[in-house]
Amino acid sequence: MSGYTGEVEVGGAVDVRELPGLRITKVATNPFNNNCYLLRDTATGETLLVDAAGDADRLLEALGDGRLVGVVETHGHWDHQQALVEVVERTGAPVLATAADAADLPLPVDRVLEDGDVVRVGSHELTAITLVGHTPGSVALHYAPEGGHLFTGDSLFPGGVGNTEKDPRRFGTLLDDVERKLFGPFPDSTWVYPGHGTDTTLGAERPALPEWRQRGW
């Protein structure tokens, strides 16, 4: 893990975190400055992509000689899917997403994710966690080893939950889900990899939960 900061920029270098048997590569992509994550089993080369947000060439360059075994779309918003068609056409990788957001994607979903489903890459397992509010069918992925790792898409960022367009019902639903499904079961050491910007940890954000609820966004 030494040297990983989670700070990337479009056109700049990727950032790589080495866990036992699993390499996490964070890439910032055009055209909307999204974060994409490649999770590679270092023994087999099997790789999972979290959000084909943009710049297929850049993503496939970061994939290198890995074998893409799936693309998880954390939600159906257009800025997280700009490279999806090209990546799938060039690799044959299946698309994974929730049923609620599937219709917003430009390709059929090969595997529908539900709460608690296991997504495998090589010998490693990640658990799908559905989060409602930013979209009807957002999904996070949790990887338990090494203190825990959460790939949250646009549902959780440093400083707050994802945009709910000033809808108090959607905001309340999202914050409830995030508190119950993320902050509730997982420790402060859990690292958060969001869909935009820098990383954070649950411990860094936990003290601010009452403030988020009070301000309403």
Annotated domain spans of the chain? 15-215
Q: What is the pLDDT of residue 31?
A: 87
Fold topology of 15-215? Metallo-beta-lactamase; Chain A (3.60.15)
Q: What is the pLDDT of residue 1?
A: 43
> Does the pLDDT value for residue 124 go beyond 60?
yes
Top-confidence residue, 1 or 160: 160
- The Cα 176–Cα 13 span in angstroms is 36
pLDDT at residue 169 greater than cutoff 70: yes
- Whether 2 has a pLDDT exceeding 90, the answer reads no
Please compute the mean of the pLDDT values over residues 123-152 and round it to a whole number.
Answer: 98
Average pLDDT over residues 81-87: 98
| Residues facing 46 on adjacent strands | 67
Task: Tell me, yes or no, if the pTM score tops 0.95.
Answer: yes
